[in-house]
Amino acid sequence: MVYRITSECICCGSCLHECPVEAITEEPEIFVIDPEKCNDCVGHFEEPQCAAVCGVDACIQDFFKYTK
C-alpha cells in the first residue's frame, strides 16, 4: 500500500528523513510522497515510518492509486 500526506500536514519535517526510499519531498506549505517511490517501507521496517512519526496523523494509505 502506498502512502500520501494530507492537508493536515503542518510541515514539521519529522517524516522527511525517516523515509528509507527518499520518497518524501518538501513543497510550499506541505510535504509530498512520490507514489512511484513509496513502497510502504516493505523490506525496511515493520510499519510505515512516515505514519509512525507523524504527530498529526497526516500520513495515510492512498487507496486512490489502486482504483485508477
Among 24, 31, 54, 58, binds ligand SF4 (CB under 6 A): 24
Question: What are 13's three cell numbers?
Answer: 519535517
Among 14, 31, 33, 54, binds ligand SF4 (CB under 6 A): 33
Cβ atoms of 33 and 2 closer than 8 Å: yes
Among 14, 31, 41, 58, binds ligand SF4 (CB under 6 A): 41
When asked if residue 58 is in the footprint of ligand SF4 (CB under 6 A), the reply is no
Cβ 22 to ligand SF4, closest distance in Å? 8
E-strand stretches of the chain: 3-5, 24-27, 30-33, 59-61
